[in-house]
A and B are shown apart, each in its own frame.
Chain A
Amino acid sequence: MARTFRVWVDHRVCVGNAMCESFAPGVFQLNADRQSEVVDPAGDTEENILEAAENCPVSAIFVEDAHTGERLFP
């Protein structure tokens, strides 16, 4: 069974660069303030979600294994 991710964005840090939205559009979308919002943590492949997190220019994206609590990014 595939892992379930817990994904969140630190809005004190997010600058709305929107790269996450382009790497994993099913997971991240910009809100009214033009900051990234997690709309569905299962909305894309693990690979794309981790790539989105890695490509955040200000490291605002956090990813954990929802079951074990293991930190997957950063």
Chain B
Amino acid sequence: MVMTVIDDDMFTDEVIADPYTYLGRLRAEAPVHWNELYEVWVVTRHDDVVWLARHNELFSSAVLKNDPRPAYPVINDSDLGLYQYVRDYRADQFIQHDRPEHLEMRKVVHTYFTPRAMETWRPFVVDAVAELLDAAEARGEMDVMRDLATPLPVLVIAQMMGVPRQDRPLIRSLAEKLLYQFRGERDRMPVLVEGMQGLKEYVAPMVEERIVSPQDDFISVLASGEKEGVFTRNQVLVNSALLLLAGHETTINLLCNGTLAFLRNPDQWELLKADPAGRTRRATEECLRYDAPVKSIERLATQDIELRGQLLRKDDRVRWFISAANRDPEAFTDPDTFDIAREPNPHVAFGSGIHHCLGATLARLEGQEVFKALAERFPALRLATEEDLEYHPSITFRSLKSLPVRWD
């Protein structure tokens, strides 16, 4: 076998279309790999990813505050000022903090998202899915991305935030601008900043009102954090944007990537259809594992650390790949097989440790209800294109550009 040097360009068309071959090779040949081109350690084994995620004192989440290196993929030179705005904005979000501040901030929002509390949202999600599918049903076709996966999470988050019904289109348009955060286009900054500023301006009066008279919505929860002295006003505002983006992009990807996995594995689609209510929970976990919504997460080493014979130096960037860990043959039998009955399924789609995804239960719930509803209502579901499907050039997200389907 001839060993070839591993190409460090993680944004080639080939790797964006199929990250699994590239990451699988890294995991087998160089599980802790220094990517010279992007100056980042790439970690791909399941056990290493879990270890790294759980050693938060060794790997800082305050990346935007402390990493001076420029945006990648590159942006237009004229947008450097806007990039600084984006850095400052995101650096103030709670997920970009380490302990002890992170614990205080997370405690403010954590209780809102408990499994029990999220379960009370199931009827709302069921109704929202039904409405979206009703609107598409007679056409016999839809773009899963545009008609289902993009609007559904915004409906849910807008309701959680306490946004009045008539403002939903505005929230949806801001949410779609925020999606540019992890895209690869050189000119993505102006749109993103418009979304970030727009959301802050929209939420500001709501916060003002809820400081005085709290309600049972999520903006009130953030406002209570300001009253307790945990959040500044700016942090309340930027964390509202965080909720809108974090709950949006990731859920879109779960719904689209999961639906695509079923379309490409008809035996598993048949299995789900035979018992949608009984099988949708495990099936959703397998969708999260098989083609995870988030491909990778970045941290900064807080000290020199030795890992698999490599020396990670203090302040080095470290990127751990969920998409690689979830296909690790040492953690999963037949890791490249989509098996909706897989159990146990210790995937790391939501990360691990103190930064484990706050919205995990909600994402699961949305996935469960969508896959169940599709199996019940559109049993003849199939891809409506012969062309290769395209993905956004991101190493953070596994995002389809569209997913046209038919069921007539």
Contacts and interface: CB of A to CB of B under 8 A. Distances in A.
Check if A and B associate: yes
Interface stretch (A1-9, A10-18, A41-49): A10-18
A57 B353 contact: no
Contacts of B107: 19, 22
Nearest to A17: B356
A12 B106 CA distance: 24
B113 interface: yes
Interface string B349-376: 0111110101011000000000000000
A16 to B, nearest CB: 5
Nearest to A34: B54
Main DSSP-derived SS at the A contact region: loop
A17 B354 contact: yes
B356 A57 contact: yes
Contacts of A66: none
Contacts of A33: 54
Contact of B113 (A16, A57, A59): A57
Contact of A55 (B111, B344, B356): B111
A12 B347 CA distance: 11
Interface in B47-69: 54-55
B353 A55 contact: no
A18 B103 CA distance: 9
Given A22-B107, A34-B54, A55-B111, A16 B116 contact: no
A58 B360 contact: yes
A54 interface: yes
Contacts of A22: 103, 107
Interface residues of A, number: 16
B110 interface: yes
Interface string B99-132: 0000100110011011110000000000000000
Bin chain B's interface residue count.
Answer: 20 to 34
Given A15-B352, A22-B103, A55 B54 contact: no
Contact of B114 (A12, A34, A54): A54
Given A57-B361, A59-B115, A15 B356 contact: yes
Contacts of B115: 56-59
A18 B354 contact: yes
B308 to A, nearest CB: 18
A57 B350 CA distance: 11
A34 B50 CA distance: 10
Interface in A21-36: 22, 33-34
Contacts of A58: 115, 356, 360
Contacts of B354: 16-18
B353 A16 contact: yes
A15 B353 contact: yes
A15 to B, nearest CB: 5
Report the 6 A-B pairs with minimum CB-CB distance, sorted nearest first. A34-B54, A17-B356, A16-B54, A15-B352, A15-B356, A16-B353
Given A15-B353, A57-B110, A58-B115, 5 more contacts: A12-B344, A16-B54, A17-B353, A55-B110, A57-B115
Interface of B: 54-55, 103, 106-107, 110-111, 113-116, 344, 346, 350-354, 356, 358, 360-361
19 contacts: A12-B346, A15-B352, A15-B356, A16-B54, A16-B354, A16-B356, A18-B353, A22-B103, A34-B54, A54-B116, A55-B110, A57-B110, A57-B115, A57-B356, A57-B358, A57-B360, A58-B356, A58-B360, A74-B116
